[in-house]
Structure 1
């Protein structure tokens, strides 16, 4: 089996497991909707307030929903021993990690991105801002998955690693959150938001280049430790 075939096998396997466990697939979406809908109940239904905070609420909700699903990225493979088998296989570990990140984004980040226009309409954001919302999430959620996978690799051997995972990854999420919400706010104000998108693209390229190596190193540290 070639390297590319091995990676595709891991990707198909993870997608198959995700669609077989429908609860793990639906829970982040339900959490995304619940968090976003609770904000108007807390701050009030004033349209001007919701318009100002809508972009930030959507991004924070997507970030927390992504983090909710991140703890299980490597844990099931670690518990049944398949993670060690993948590490001993002929395929480079960083490519295996990249395949698992892609599968995580396909079942978590992409559905959140597709669902975001519904929340945008609920917050009264203008239709002209919808492309900015979808574009920033389309570039930002893969970066959230890449960053979160590093923390998931470091905490995979811990029984209660969810809290530590949050502490490790939330500070790294802040630049992505700021740029994403800035692009939406610029679009709502009818300003040019392509600059925010370009910065997200730069961060995504850096993440795709270096994050798989960091993920594989974190897994080796956790397993060997």
Structure 2
């Protein structure tokens, strides 16, 4: 049975890398937004350090929304999502596999680029470490919470705008705690409490999001 879930993982990963344009679009958007801010606000290091955490996190959220719609879209359009539901596989595990693939292709490149992005914004080493920790905890949360909204809107034509309207308000607490952690690191203050809150949100999402996503997909199929 585990080989079937491995097959879903390999299939989704292969399809994601075949669609290179859709794969690179969010990443290019992220890099362009972050790299244009030093031009727009000026090269002063103190200004860039002040706005840097917020810029990177806002760009990360918006870029993730660009690629979020395709999470279940192709499977819904070609009927393979319905076949997965009828195959006898545990839909919660199938959803978890798909979220894992989405995180690997969307968030891991961001993590790899994060040193370069922090250099653009003159962030210190302490600030970068805090930023990296918030990204490691926060990006899986974005994928899991976003997948719930994608499941609800997968049958809606051009649901990207509706998806953004649903998700942006939900991601505001994550944005607040993540940027607060990096700001605390800039002031040489402890930021464990902010990380703990983000980690608690992540654990809650890990526990409940697969069930919520599976239910939303079943509703969309009816």
Instruction: Please report the TM-score for the alignment, with normalisation by the length of structure 1.
Output: 0.95
**Ranges in structure 1 where 5+ consecutive residues have no aligned partner:** none
Taking the TM superposition and a 5 Å limit, the aligned residue runs for 1:30-45 are 30-45=28-43
CA distance in 1 between partners of 2:18 and 2:48 (Å): 37
Distance in 2 between residues matched to 1:89 and 1:161, nearest whole Å: 27
Work out the CA distance in 2 between the residues paired with 1:150 and 1:41: 37
State the match for 1:61 in structure 2: 59
- Helix, strand or coil: the match of 1:73? helix
Matching residue of 1:152: 150
Match of 1:212 among 189, 206, 210: 210
Deviates more, 1:137-146 or 1:122-131: 122-131
How far apart are the structure 1 equivalents of 2:5 and 2:172? 31
Partner of 1:203: 201
Matches within 5 A, 1:91-130: 91-130=89-128
Q: Could you tell me the TM-score, scaled by structure 2's length? A: 0.96
Shift of 1:40: 2.4
Q: Which moved more, 1:100-109 or 1:177-186?
A: 177-186
CA RMSD between the two structures: 1.1
Q: Which sections of structure 2, spanning at least 5 residues, go unmatched?
A: none
Distance, in Å, in 2 between the alignment partners of 1:191 and 1:114 is 26
Q: Distance in 1 between matches of 2:57 and 2:80?
A: 34
Which runs of structure 1 show a deviation greater than 6 angstroms over 4 or more consecutive aligned residues? none
